Structure 1
Amino acid sequence: MDLGSTALALLGLLLAAWTAGAAWLMIAAGARSRGADTARRTAKRLNRLLDESPAAALLVRSDGRLEGSERLAHWLGFEELPQFLSELSRHPDRGLTEEQLDDLTSRVRLAQKSAKPFRMAITLPGSARSLALRGSLADPQVSPGGAALIWVFDFSESELELVQMRKETARAMSDFAALVGVIASAPTPMWFRNPEMQLQLVNKAYVAAVGAQDMQSVLDQQIELVEPVEGTPASEIARRASESGEPMERTVSVTSVDGTRRRFRVSDLPLGDEGVAGYAVDIQEQEDQAREHRAYREAQRSMLDRLSVGVAQFDGQRRLTFANQPFRRLLGVRPGAGAIGTSFERLLSDARDEGRTPSVRDFPTWRKEHVAWFGEGGTQEEDWPLSDGTHLAVVGQPMPDGGLALIVEDRTEQLSLAANRDTLLRTRTAMLDSLFEALAVFAPDGTLQLWNHSFPETWGLEAEALDKHPSVDALLPLIEPNLARPRQIKGVAEVIRSATLDRKERAGRLQLADGRTIEFAGIPLPDGNGLLTTLDVTANEQAETALRDRAEALEQADKVKTRFLANMSYEFRTPLTSIGGFAELLEAEVAGPLSDGAKEYVSAILESVARLTDQVENVLDLSQSEAGLLPIARRELSLLAFVAGVARAREEAVEAKNITLDLRGKQSLAVHADPRQLGRAIGQLLDNAIAACAQDGRILVDLAKHDGGVRIVISDNGRGMDEGELARALDGMRQPSDSDPDDTRRQGLGLPLAKQLIEAHGGTFEIQSEKGAGTSVNLWLP
Structure 2
Amino acid sequence: PATIGGARRMLNVFDVPLPGGGVAGFAIDIEDLEQARAATKRFADAQREMLDRLSAGVAQFGSDRALVFCNQPFQRLFAMKPEWIADRPEFDRVLERMREAGRLPEVRDFPGWKAERREWFLAADHRIEEPWHLPGGDHLRVVAQPLPDGGLLLIFEDRTEQVQLATARDTLLRVRTATFDTLFEALGVFAADGRLQLWNNRFRQTLGLDETFLAGHPRVDVLAQAAAARLAAPGKAVLISEMVRSATLDRQQRGGSLAFADGRHFDFAAVPLPDGNALFTMLDVSDSRRMEQALRDRNEALEAADRVKNAFVANMSYELRTPLTSISGFAEMLQGGYGGELPPTAIDYVKAILESVERLGTLVDDVLDLTQHGERGAVVELSAVAQAAADKVMPLAKAQKLDFAVEIDPSLGQIGGDAARLTQVVENLLRHAIAGTQERGRVLLHGDGTAEAARIVVSDNGRGMTAKAIARAFDGFATPAATRGSDRALGLGLPLAKQFVEAHGGTVTLMSERGQGTVITVTLPRTGAPPSA
Q: TM-score, normalised by structure 2?
A: 0.56
The answer to whether the 8 Å contact 2:470/2:512 transfers is no
Residues 1:490 and 1:658: Cα distance change in structure 2 (over 3 Å): farther
- C-alpha deviation, 1:546, in angstroms: 6.9
Paired amino acid for 2:384 = A
2:383 counterpart of 1:640: yes
- Identify the structure with bigger relative contact order (alpha carbons < 8 Å, sequence gap 6+): 2
Given that residues 363 and 489 in structure 2 are in contact (C-alpha distance below 8 angstroms), is that contact kept between their aligned partners in structure 1? no
* Superimposed CA distance per residue, residues 117-166 of structure 1 (whole angstroms, 9 cap, x where no aligned partner): xxxxxxxxxxxxxxxxxxxxxxxxxxxxxxxxxxxxxxxxxxxxxxxxxx
Aligned residue number for residue 150 of structure 2? none
SS of match in other structure, 1:592 = coil
1:687 corresponding residue in structure 2: 431
The CA distance in 2 between the partners of 1:726 and 1:503, in whole Å, is: 55
* Match of residue 89 from structure 2: none
Structure 1 distance, partners of 2:168, 2:464, is 62
Contact 1:510 1:519 (C-alpha < 8 Å) held by counterparts = yes
Q: Give unpaired runs (5+ residues) of structure 2.
A: 1-71, 84-132, 140-160, 529-533
Q: Is the contact made by 1:496 and 1:532 (CA closer than 8 Å) also made in structure 2?
A: no
Q: Which residue of 1 aligns with 2:445?
A: 700
1:511 pairs, out of 226, 245, 260, with 260
1:327-382 deviations in Å (ceiling 9; x for gaps):
xxxxxxxxxxxxxxxxxxxxxx9xx9xxxx974355669xxxxxxxxxxxxxxxxx
The residue that corresponds to 1:276 in the other structure is none
Q: 1:586 to 1:465 in 2, by over 3 A?
A: same
Question: Aligned pair 1:714/2:457, yes or no?
Answer: yes
User: In the TM superposition, what whole-angstrom CA distance separates every residue of 1:709-730 from its partner, at most 9, and x where no partner exists?
Assistant: x614123255666887556333
Checking the alignment, whether the CA contact within 8 Å between 2:251 and 2:272 is kept in structure 1 is no
Offset at residue 466 of structure 1 (A): 1.0
**1:620 paired residue number:** 368
The letter for the 2-side match of 1:701 is H
- Give the Å deviation of 1:654: 2.6
SS of match in other structure, 1:768 = strand
Counterpart of 2:279, as a letter, is G
CA contact (8 A) 1:661 1:699 kept: yes
Structure 1 residues 598 and 418: CA distance shift in structure 2, 3 A: farther
**DSSP-derived class of the 2:284 partner:** strand
- CA offsets, 1:256-282, max 9 Å, x none? xxxxxxxxxxxxxxxxxxxxxxxxxxx
State the structure with more CA Rg: 1
> Does 1:520 find its partner at 2:267?
yes
Q: Which residue of 1 aligns with 2:510?
A: 769
Q: Structure 1 stretches of 5 or more lacking a match?
A: 1-348, 366-384, 392-409, 740-744
TM-score by length of 1: 0.40
1:778 is aligned to: 523
The secondary structure found in structure 1 opposite 2:209 is: coil
Q: Calculate the aligned-residue CA RMSD, in Å.
A: 4.7
Instruction: Indicate conservation of the 8 Å contact 2:382/2:415, yes or no.
Output: yes
Cα separation, 1, equivalents of 2:204 and 2:167: 35
* Secondary structure at 1:777 match in 2: strand
The equivalent of 1:532 in structure 2 is 281
Matched residue type, 1:360: F
1:339-378 superposed matches below 5 A? 359-360=77-78, 362=80
- Report the CA distance shift for 1:730/1:746 in structure 2 as closer, same or farther (over 3 A): farther
Contact 1:678 1:757 in 2 (8 A): yes
What corresponds to 2:123 in structure 1?
A: none
Write the distance in 1 (CA, Å) between the matches of 2:433 and 2:171.
69
| 2:365 counterpart letter in structure 1 | E
Please give the alpha-carbon distance, in whole angstroms, between the structure 1 residues aligned to 2:138 and 2:350.
104
Aligned identity (percent) is 31
The aligned counterpart of 2:182 is 431
Match in the other structure for 1:60? none
Q: How does 1:546-625 map to 2 (within 5 A)?
A: 551-625=299-373
Give the residue type in structure 1 aligned to 2:78. Answer: V
Secondary structure in 2 matching 1:764: coil
Note the 1:188-203 alignment, pairs <5 A.
none
Structure 1 residue 776 displacement after superposition: 1.6
SS at match of 1:649: helix
Change (3 A) 1:637 1:456: closer
Shift of 1:439: 1.4
Q: Name the counterpart of 2:113.
A: none
1:702 Cα shift?
0.7
Task: Map Cα deviations across residues 617-648 of structure 1 (whole Å, 9 max, x no partner).
Answer: 122223221xxxx36584x6554234212202
Give the letter aligned to residue 236 of structure 2: Q
The structural deviation recorded for 1:680 is 1.7
Shift of 1:613: 1.0
The aligned residue for residue 493 of structure 2 is 750
CA distance in 2, matches of 1:386, 1:676: 95
Question: Structure 1 residue 496: deviation in Å?
Answer: 5.3
Q: Distance in 1 between matches of 2:377 and 2:265?
A: 53
**Residue 494 of structure 1: how far off its partner (Å):** 5.7
1:569 maps to amino acid: S
Residue 714 of structure 1 aligns to a residue whose secondary structure is: strand
1:461 aligns with 2:209: yes
Distance apart, 1:573 and its partner CA: 1.7
